[in-house]
Amino acid sequence: MCRVANLSLILIAGIAATISISASAQTPPAAFGACRACHNVQKDGKSGIGPNLNGVAGRPAASLPGFNYSAALKASKLRWDDQSLDAFLAAPMKKVPGTRMPIGTPDPAKRAAIITYLKSLK
């Protein structure tokens, strides 16, 4: 009995290890946890309170079809690259006064991790 239980434990551990290895390319940094409440990241997935962020790096701000963006973000004429993402994520309402994105990420290291992650979402 005991050996059977041990074997299945090893099997489960093995499966878990395989899953985490295959997902590692897009494992979100801890700092992205706060974003998930509002942002979906699945390709072609539905937007939530915020727009789906899959493919956000490189696209113009406020350009995801079907999402109801603020007039402020639509008028911002930003394109999401490393610099604009960094400034927006640091203090959204300072970079784009009137945006509906409510939270900033003051820690530069966390922003860098988030931006690297966003660029991996395709």
Instruction: Classify each residue of 79-94 as buried b or exposed e, where b means 16 or more C-beta atoms within 10 Å of its C-beta.
Output: ebeeeebbebbbebee
CA-nearest of 54, 85, 92 to 70 is: 92
The token pair at 78 is: 């930003």
CA distances from 73 to 45, 49, 57 (A): 21, 15, 15
CA-nearest of 47, 58, 65 to 101 is: 47
Q: How far is the CB of 22 from ligand HEC (least distance, A)?
A: 24
Which CB, 20 or 59, lies closer to ligand HEC?
Answer: 59
Q: How far is the CB of 39 from ligand HEC (least distance, A)?
A: 5
Q: How far is the CB of 61 from ligand HEC (least distance, A)?
A: 4
* Contact residues: ligand HEC, CB under 6 A: 34-35, 37-39, 49-51, 53, 56, 61-62, 64, 69-70, 72-73, 80, 85, 89, 99-103, 105, 114
Which CB, 20 or 36, lies closer to ligand HEC?
Answer: 36
Q: How far is the CB of 53 from ligand HEC (least distance, A)?
A: 6
